[in-house]
Each structure stands twice: as C-alpha cells, then as structure tokens.
C-alpha cells in the first residue's frame, strides 16, 4: 500500500500561479505556439445575466487580478509536472520565461456592473491572454459576488436601520482559505466595517472584531464566573455572549457583572432564538452605553425582517450567507475572445452558440447620470463616443502599469457613492428593477455584420 508520508495542506505559492489554470489553456497555448499562430487577441471578462434577486453587481478583485498577471510564473516542480504530462521542452522553456506584455482596461473596484459589461479587457498575443481565463474569472467573479452581497446588507441597514456596524464573521464557512481572505476583503470593499479574520485583517488592512464563543462560557462552572474572568482581562472592551443557556438570564448576569465590577462593559451578543424579539427585551434591560450585537443567520433578508419586526441592535455579524453568497453562490462570469488580429488589424469576433452569444470587439461602457444619480448605461464599441462617463480605465499598457491602485477604503467609499447613485428600485433585495443598459448603434451594427459574415463563411 502506498501512503502519503505526511499530510499536506496544499498552499498556493507564486510558483503555482501559472499552473492554476485549466489544462485546455495549456493545450491551446502549446498549439498556438507550434502552429505559429499567435495573433493579438482581446478577451473580455463579463457575466451574461444577473443572479437571482440581484439588480446590480459591485466590481471587486481587480487588484488581485492584476497581481496575478504581474506574479505569474511556473516553478521548477510545476514545469516537471508538465514534462511528465507530455508537454515538450520547447514549450516548457517558453513557459519558464512567460511574461505579460499586453494591455489591460478595467472597471475600478466599487463600481456597479451590469450584464455584458466587461470587468476587464485583456489585449495581448493570444497565447498570453488565453492562459489567464481560469484565474481571472476565479478571483474577479468571487470577489464581485461577495462585494455585492455586502453592499446589499449595507443598503438595508442604511434604509431600514441605523447604518449599524456590520462585521464579516464568515471565514469558517468560506470555501477554503483564499475565499476566507478574499471574502473579507471584498465584503469590506462592499461596505461592511470589518472582519473577524485576523489573517485578512493583517493582509488587507481591515479592522478586526471579535467577542467570545460559547466554549468560553461552558469551560467555567458558571456563566457568571465566565463573564467576570473575561471582564477582568478585557475591561471595557468586553462583549459578553449571553445565549449559552438562556438569553434573558444571561443578559441579567452580564448587567450584574458590569455593575459589580464597575466596568462599562461594551455590550452583549445574541446568537440564537427569535432575535428581533429578544433584541427588544435585551435593549430594555441594558443600561445606556451597553450595545446589542446580533449574529446567527444574518443576511440582507434577515436584516429587512429584523427591522420590520422592530428589532434593535448596534451591530450585526453576517457569516455564512455573506462569505458564500449563499442565495446566489456564483456570478457565472466568462472570459471570451471578442477581437482577433487578422492581416494586421483587430477584427471583432463572436461565437454563435445557443444562448451564449457575445458582443464582439473591444468595448466602451458609458454611464449617464443626473442629479438623481445613474439612470442608464450604453455599451458601445471602444472607438465610439456616445457621451456619458467612461467606466473602463487603462490599467496596464504594453506591459507597464499605468494605474494607481486605490486603497481598500477608497474602494469602499466608491461603493457607498455607487449605492447612493443607483436607482432605489434597482437596489431592491427582492425582484429588483432592471437597470437599463442600451447597446449603441455602432455595436449593434458590428454585431450584426460579424454575425452575418460568420453565417456566410460557415455556410449556416
């Protein structure tokens, strides 16, 4: 019997980035090279339709997408794997020297994005641009999903609540470690106030929050002992978890401990039961200055009902629903070739696959607004000027950075501004109105021409 000698966690290092791709990308790369067919291609990363109950998507993950293009490499062990898999030496040598020399345009993080609008457009020799598909979708798709989920929660606590503190408590339920880190980043970009994950806090400079777990309480012979010991260590920073045995009795004990120790304990956390009802009872019991923090099942739908039921709280800890975007766990983004060099010129390209049609060519996204905020977008050809504000910015030009990355706080501010300017009915958390995205006359004409050329060429 062969056995693994030691258990392996499976870290991703920069040396793995090249290999974190689908085999077909490598298969195509090799064939592009061997066939000496490496025209310039433009690839567009976008989604075809909004997930259920989403009226908009908040772009996030651009910084990681660009870091990936910058860091991408193939380590020795990784190249050895490809050698074993039958890839020839010349191709491995090419990979070992792989470097991005193309250009990238993108929508800044914190911006609202709608179907068919490219988050990112990569223009480069097709063998380069092709390789990026898997990981660009992976990073931008996931972070945008989570930023959107967070923005929806922020919007509800602004509209129906008191703009309460929201903290990502979801690392444990995130899909792996990268999801834990990136969900914390994306959730902050999307409008929450912090995370419980210290690695994410350290990495991305996000405020970190934490209280106590039930195990703390259970490890003492009485809840009172547990509270007293904690207050002894943390003083005014203490937030006491009161539902281990009975929320009301626990709250009474917390109040007594605060009084007897003469410490202005920060507050209590409720984590089970009818939270809207309990929060009202607890609020009435607590002295001024002690806060109510609510966790367990928190998402935008919970928040809407909580406020409708008269719930009162100073902060919430959304977890699973936030970090998995539980009601809509994928954005289904795609990365499609929209233009390819032929006879020295970029030609718009598309496929005709049923239900999967793509608008051809490099794009311009124009957003139109007035004093009331955004009211429509026009998706146009990159060489058209149809007015409005252009959303795509230059990030990399011929392999050189030309973009100043905003801080995460600046991205977050942009999300807040975005939320304020989006139409109210588009922001509804259920059955949102459709935000109008028109296709320009130029793009429509191009699409029709490409489609009819194709049908003719393919005898369809």
Site residues for a second copy, 26-85, by CB under 8 A, read 26-28, 30-32, 34-35, 37, 39, 41, 43, 63-64, 66-68, 70-71, 77-78, 81-82, 85
Contact between 426 and 363 (Cβ < 8 Å): no
Q: At what angle do helices 23-34 and 89-96 cross, to 10 degrees?
A: 110
Least Å distance, CB 290 to a second copy, is: 18
Q: Please state, in angstroms and rounded to a whole number, the distance separating the CA atoms of residues 251 and 152.
A: 31
Nearer to a second copy, 444 or 451 (CB): 451
Q: Fill in the per-residue mask, 332 to 361: x = in contact with a second copy (CB under 8 A), - = not in contact.
A: x--xxx--x-x------xxxxxxxx-----
Q: 165: which strand partners?
A: 315
Fill in the per-residue mask, 357 to 396: x = in contact with a second copy (CB under 8 A), - = not in contact: ----------------------------------------
Q: What distances in angstroms separate CA 273 from CA 248, 276, 283, 316, one per listed residue? A: 11, 9, 15, 15
Query: Which residue, 44 or 111, has its beta carbon nearer to a second copy?
Result: 44
Picking from 316, 323, 279, 280, the residue whose alpha carbon sits closest to that of residue 296 is 316
97: left (phi over 0), alpha (psi -120 to 50) or beta: alpha
Give, as ranges, the residues between 225 and 254 that touch a second copy (CB under 8 A).
229-230, 232-234, 243-246, 249
What is the DSSP-derived secondary structure letter of residue 439? E
Closer residue to a second copy (CB): 95 or 286: 95
Mark 191-220 with x for binding to a second copy (rule: CB under 8 A) and - for no binding.
-----xxxx-xxxx---xxxxxxxxxxxxx
Q: Does 415 bind a second copy (CB under 8 A)?
A: no
138 binds a second copy (CB under 8 A): yes
Q: Which is nearer to a second copy, 259 or 356 (CB)?
A: 356
Question: x-or-dash pattern for a second copy, window 139-158, by CB under 8 A?
Answer: x-xx----------------
Q: Cα separation of 406 and 317, whole Å?
A: 26
Query: Do 334 and 46 touch, CB atoms closer than 8 A?
Result: yes
State the nearest-atom distance from the C-beta of 176 to a second copy, in Å.
Answer: 3
Binder among 54, 105, 149, 182 for a second copy (CB under 8 A): 182
Partners of residue 167 on adjacent β-strands: 194
- Residue 177: left if φ>0, alpha if ψ -120 to 50, beta else—which one? alpha
Q: Using alpha carbons, select from 273, 321, 278 the residue that is nearest to residue 168.
A: 321
The yes or no reply on residue 416 touching a second copy (CB under 8 A) is: no
């Amino acid at each position: 019997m062969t056995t693994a000698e030691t258990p392996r966690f499976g870290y991703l290092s920069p040396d793995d980035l090249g290999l974190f791709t689908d085999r077909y990308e490598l298969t195509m790369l090799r064939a592009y090279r061997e066939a000496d067919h490496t025209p310039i291609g433009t690839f567009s990363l976008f989604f075809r339709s909004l997930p259920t109950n989403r009226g908009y998507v908040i772009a996030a993950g651009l910084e990681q997408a660009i870091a990936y293009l910058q860091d991408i490499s193939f380590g020795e062990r990784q190249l050895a794997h490809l050698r074993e898999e039958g890839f020839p030496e010349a191709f491995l040598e090419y990979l070992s020297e792989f470097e991005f020399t193309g250009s990238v345009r993108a929508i800044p993080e914190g911006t609202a994005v709608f179907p068919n609008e490219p988050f990112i457009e990569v223009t480069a020799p097709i063998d380069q641009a092709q390789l990026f598909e898997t990981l660009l979708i992976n990073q931008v798709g996931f972070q945008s999903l989570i930023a959107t989920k967070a923005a929806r929660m922020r919007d509800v606590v602004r509209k129906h609540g008191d703009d309460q503190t929201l903290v990502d408590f979801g690392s444990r339920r995130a899909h792996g470690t990268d999801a834990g880190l990136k969900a914390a980043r994306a959730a902050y970009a999307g409008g929450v106030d912090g995370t419980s994950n210290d690695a994410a806090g350290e990495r991305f400079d996000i405020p970190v929050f934490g209280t106590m777990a039930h195990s703390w309480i259970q490890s003492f012979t009485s809840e009172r002992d547990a509270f007293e010991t904690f207050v002894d260590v943390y003083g005014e920073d203490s937030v006491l978890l009161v539902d281990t045995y009975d929320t009301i009795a626990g709250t009474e004990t917390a109040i007594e401990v605060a009084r007897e120790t003469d410490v202005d304990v920060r507050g209590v956390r409720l984590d089970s039961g009818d939270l809207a009802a309990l929060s009202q009872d607890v609020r009435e019991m607590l002295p001024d200055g002690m806060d109510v923090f609510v966790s367990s099942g928190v998402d935008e739908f919970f928040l809407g009902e909580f406020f409708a039921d008269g719930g009162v709280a100073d902060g919430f800890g959304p977890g699973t629903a936030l970090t998995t975007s539980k009601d809509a766990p994928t954005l289904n983004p795609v990365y499609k070739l929209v233009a390819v060099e032929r006879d020295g010129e970029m030609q718009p390209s598309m496929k005709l696959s049923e239900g999967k049609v793509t608008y051809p060519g490099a794009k311009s996204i124009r957003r139109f607004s007035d004093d009331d905020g955004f009211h429509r977008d026009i998706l146009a050809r990159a060489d058209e000027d149809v007015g409005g504000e252009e959303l795509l910015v230059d990030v990399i030009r011929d392999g050189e950075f030309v973009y100043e990355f905003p801080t995460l706080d600046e991205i977050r501010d942009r999300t807040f501004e975005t939320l304020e300017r989006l139409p109210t009915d588009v922001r509804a958390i259920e059955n949102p109105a459709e935000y109008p995205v028109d296709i320009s006359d130029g793009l429509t004409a191009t699409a029709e021409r490409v489609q009819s050329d194709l049908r003719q060429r393919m005898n369809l």
